[in-house]
A and B are shown apart, each in its own frame.
Chain A
Amino acid sequence: MAFDPTILGIACNWCTYTGADLAGTTRIQYPHNVRVARVMCSSRINPAFIFRAFELGADGVLVGGCHPGDCHYSTGNLYARRRLAVTKKILDFAGIEPGRFKVTWISASEGHIFAETVKAFTEEVRSLGPQTKFAVTKGNDQ
């Protein structure tokens, strides 16, 4: 059977989550691999969430927030941008392929962009195969 990746999506309440909602109400088809968790702002995301997701067996993590400048709380996503950039470098240096972690800005009106992003990201993670590095109990390379 073809590999079906498990992806954690973390979406901000005001833009990306609403955008995902719009994708649903306009009946745009996109892969079911992304499990979306809603947070009030992308700056709510503790990088430990992302490490933990990989540890618990996620094959990829997709984070969505408002476009810079459009944050509901004015500056939240500008802090998040710095934090998630450092998180990405840490994952990369530890040996997780950069393709498994993506941060993207999707507004509430961009339902089609949400669907396209999920499609492209799922295909990218699929091509990378199962994530068995951090998810040690799931992997068999010990």
Chain B
Amino acid sequence: MKGIEKRLREEAKKLLETGSVSAVLAFRDGYDGDHPVPFAARDVSDADAIVFNEYCTHNLARYVTEYEPGTKIAIAAKGADSRALVVLIQEEKVKRDDLVILGIPCSGMKDARRGTVIDEATTGNTVNPVIHDIMLADQLPEPDTSPYSVLTDLESRGHDARWKFWRKELSRCIRCYACRNACPLCYCDPCFVDQTEPRWADKSPSLESNLMFHLTRFYHLAGRCVDCGDCSRACPMNIPLYLFHKKVAKECEEMFGQTAGMDPEETPVMVDFKVEDSDEILL
């Protein structure tokens, strides 16, 4: 991790010195070393503040869409960040040429709030960046575990038991929208839930309006969610949103045979179709 931090600072300095990018998206220390926060280094003097350790879990692809189109940005991208960037490129929210992707292979990252190791139980566990311009460390072996094995228990339960589970979880939602704000792919302005005409869901938390918000959000991320797990880590009520996102991603993979965010040349599955799609997917 220290080696990556050193290389990250060097590359950031180089890029900012030559003026080839206007910002380097990375991390700096928060109130202590164990709580890093996302940071945009805009000047060479900022580069020394950049840190990278096992708590740097935020998906930085979330900040790319905040810049004016055409702004050149360098971004420190872990496995899931790079997949989110691929989806943003597919959706033409950002141009590949405007990005300098500093790839960081990493595993064994830790959730700063809970202190637990982040693995395939809560995320897609993508270890190596799928696209990069500069790699900051050697590629690591990809794990052979399935990110979907955590679903087996919930899938095997009946509909009533699943409803009980989600009712318990989703009725806790306080509608702070931390999940949406942490998500690199929730870039809509305005979000459907902020619209007043039509008013898709009530603003105040209640089980009905929470369901409306979350189910529609799960749908909006179908075939796009890269399973970075940032929504669940951001949730102050510890709602396991990743379970639903994993389920939708798994179904999309099975039905349409494409994993989200792997190849910038692909079209996201929900804005595409195949004539040979079977009607069996509707059963």
Q: Which residues of A contact B (CB under 8 A)?
A: 47-48, 51-52, 55, 68-69, 75, 78-79, 81-98, 103, 105, 133-137, 142
Contact = CB atoms under 8 A, between A and B. Distances in A.
B44 interface: no
A93 B161 CA distance: 10
Given A93-B247, A96-B159, A136-B208, A85 B219 contact: no
Given A85-B281, A134-B208, A137-B208, A94 B248 contact: no
A48 B200 contact: yes
Contacts of B248: 86, 89-90, 93
Given A55-B208, A90-B218, 13 more contacts: A48-B212, A51-B215, A52-B212, A55-B211, A55-B212, A78-B277, A79-B273, A81-B282, A82-B256, A82-B277, A88-B282, A93-B155, A133-B167
A82 B255 CA distance: 9
Contact of B215 (A83, A94, A103): A94
15 contacts: A47-B216, A48-B212, A55-B208, A78-B277, A82-B277, A86-B223, A93-B155, A93-B244, A94-B244, A95-B162, A95-B163, A97-B159, A98-B283, A135-B208, A136-B207
Given A47-B216, A51-B216, A95 B160 contact: yes
B166 interface: yes
B192 A48 contact: yes
Interface of B: 154-155, 159-167, 192, 200, 206-208, 211-212, 215-216, 218-219, 222-223, 244, 247-248, 251-252, 255-256, 269-275, 277, 279, 281-283
A68 B223 CA distance: 22
A52 B215 CA distance: 10
A25 to B, nearest CB: 28
B53 to A, nearest CB: 36
Contacts, number: 103
A126 B283 CA distance: 19
Please classify the interface of chain A as helix (H, G, I), strand (E, B), loop, or mixed, using the class held by over half of its residues.
helix
A142 to B, nearest CB: 8
A68 B275 contact: yes
B273 A82 contact: yes
